[in-house]
Amino acid sequence: MTRVAYYPGCALKERSAHLERPALGAAEKLGFELDELDSWTCCGAVPPPSEERIMNLVAPIRILKDVRDTGDEVLVTICDFCYNSLKRANHRVSTSDLDRKRVNAFLRENQPKRDYLPSTEEDYRDYLGEVQVMHLLEYLRDVVGFEEIAQSRSTELSGLRLAPYYGCVMLRPEDEIGLDSVENPTIIEDFLVALGAETVAYPYRTVCCGSYLSVSFPESSARLCSNIISSAAEKGADAIVVSCPLCFYNLDSRQKMISELYPGTKSIPILYFTQVLGMAMDLDISDLGFDKHYVDPEPVVEKALGSLKGGGSR
């Protein structure tokens, strides 16, 4: 079985475990192993700009350097925040001589002890951006292939009307991330179509959900999410599909506040793309983490299972 180095990040180990778990199971069915790094730290999330310019590079570059030293060329991640942070840091050391020198000078002097990696200053090799950072969706598209997925899926999710939601950090900024067009992305649509689902077009798929404002101004996030949800629901979506833990939280859990602030907003289940993949790959329903949702995804799951029964492949 092919293995690929995998960086989970903090959220996926706890609050967003239902993003990771189906991914691991589905990967296995698709013939590859998401091999979690032996040791990893925070990716740095969204560090503020600073005078010395390298604060925001230290965490992600240390992770990427360890990956390179272990002999891996590709690192897969699932969380959009981690993806953005790792990929932008990688882009920065690849394109800025100054930042590359600075962050390597710092890391050389401040190496963590790892018994499986060289840790003396003499052994230190400058990290030059060698590792390719890939979002799991990107890996599925470019390495596994959506065609292949369409061939290997056990269940065709036909009849499911799903609204892709991209959010912000998975795509932006385009010149540093380069995963897909920022104005007209298609990766989630293409993925869902490969699984046999129908996709719903609506104008809010790249409009922000409020991100961290959920902490400071929850009402702002609620307003933004109500726009997204109403629009998707109005176009007849059975569920919205996301890949970011924060998008999931804002769109799912905020529906409580949305129903208070914007009465009449239709409730709609939110699914991680990995959960949708999990259903298509016939993973055990109990492994998909549907119990972690605020809005019960039962009707969607039912619809998927219904089509499964109709398809008669089980």
Partner 1 sequence: MAEGADNETTPRLRLDREKVRGEFGKRLDSLSEQHILACYQCGNCSSGCPLAEEMDLLPSTVMHLVQLGQSEAVLNSRSIWVCASCLQCTVRCPKGIDIQKVMDVLRQMALAEGIDHFGPDQVDPRNAAEVPQPGLVSAYRKLST
Partner 2 sequence: MKRIGVFVCHCGINIANTVDVDRVVEELRKDPRITHAQSYIYMCSDPGQELVRDTIKNEKLDAVVVAACSPSLHELTFRQASAEAGLNPYQCEIANIREQCSWVHEDRERATAKAVKIIKSIVAKTYLNESLEPIRVPINRRAMVIGGGIAGIQASLDIANSGYEVVLVEREPSIGGHMAQLSETFPTLDCSQCILTPKMVEVGKHPRIKLMTYSEVEEVSGYVGNFTVKIRRKAPSVDWATCTGCGECMEKCPVKVPSEFNRGLDDRGAIYVPFPQAVPNKPVIDRDNCVYYRTGKCKLCESTCEVGSIRFDQEDEIVEEEVGAIVVATGYETLPLQRIAEYGGGEVPDVIDGLAFERLLSASGPTVGEVRRPSDGKVPKEVVFVQCAGSRDPERYQPYCSRICCMYTTKHAMLYKHRVHDGQPYIFYIDVRTGGKGYEEFYHRAEEEEGVVYLKGKVASIFRDGDQTVVWGTDSLAGRNVEIRADLVVLATAVVPGTGVQDLAKKLKIQTGENGFLNEAHPKLRPVESITAGFYLAGCGQSPRDIPDTVAQASGAASKVTALFSKDEMEQDPMIAAVDEDVCGGCRVCISVCPYDAREYDEEEEIAVVNEALCEGCGACVAACPCGATQQSNLTDRQILEMITASLGEE
What does residue 189 show for φ and ψ, rounded to 5 degrees? -60, -50
Among 184, 263, 284, 312, binds partner 2 (CB under 8 A): 184
Terminal alpha carbon distance of the chain: 25
Which of partner 1, partner 2, none does 184 bind, CB closer than 5 to 8 A by kind?
A: partner 2
Between residue 188 and residue 247, which ones bind partner 1 under the rule CB under 8 A? 206-208, 210-218, 220, 223-224, 245-246
Rounded to a whole number of angstroms, the minimum distance from the CB of residue 210 to partner 1 is 6
Q: Give, for 21, the enclosing helix (H) or strand (E).
A: helix 17-30
In the chain, DSSP finds a helix count (H) and a strand count (E) of 14, 8
- The torsion angle over the Cα atoms of residues 133, 136, 138 and 139, rounded to 10 degrees, is 80
Q: Does residue 123 belong to the site contacting partner 1 (CB under 8 A)?
A: no
Q: How far is the CB of 225 from partner 2 (least distance, A)?
A: 18
Q: What is the DSSP track for 164-218?
A: E--TTTTT-SHHHH-SS-SSS--HHHHHHHHTT-EE---TTTTS---TTHHHH-H
List the beta strands (DSSP E) in 184-309.
198-199, 239-242, 270-272
Nearer to partner 2, 14 or 183 (CB): 183
Is 178 one of the binding residues for partner 2 (CB under 8 A)?
no
CA 266 to chain CA mean position, Å: 26
Pick one of 33, 38, 42, 201: the residue that binds partner 1 (CB under 8 A): 42
The two three-digit tokens of residue 178, written as one number: 């380069």
Rg of the chain on CA atoms, in Å: 20
Residues comprising the chain, all counted: 314
Q: Which of 4, 6, 8, 16 binds partner 1 (CB under 8 A)?
A: 16
Taking CB within 5 to 8 Å according to partner kind, which of partner 2, partner 1, none is near residue 181? partner 2
Place of tokens 């010395």: 52
Residues within window 238-257 making contact with partner 1, judged by CB under 8 A: 245-246, 248-249, 253
Per CB under 8 A, does 183 bind partner 2? yes
Q: Which does 16 bind (CB under 5 to 8 A by kind): partner 1, partner 2, none?
A: partner 1
Give the DSSP letter of residue 312.
Answer: T
Secondary structure class of 34 (helix, strand, coil): strand
Options 178, 203, 299, 310; binder of partner 2; rule CB under 8 A: 203
Closest CA to 210 of 176, 258, 268: 258
Window 59-98: contact mask with partner 1 (x via CB under 8 A):
--------------------x-xx----------------
Residue 105 contact, options partner 1, partner 2, none, Cβ 5-8 Å cut-off depending on partner type: none
Name the site residues for partner 1 (rule: CB under 8 A): 9-11, 14-16, 42, 45-51, 79, 81-82, 167-169, 172-174, 182, 206-208, 210-218, 220, 223-224, 245-246, 248-249, 253
Name the site residues for partner 2 (rule: CB under 8 A): 181, 183-184, 203
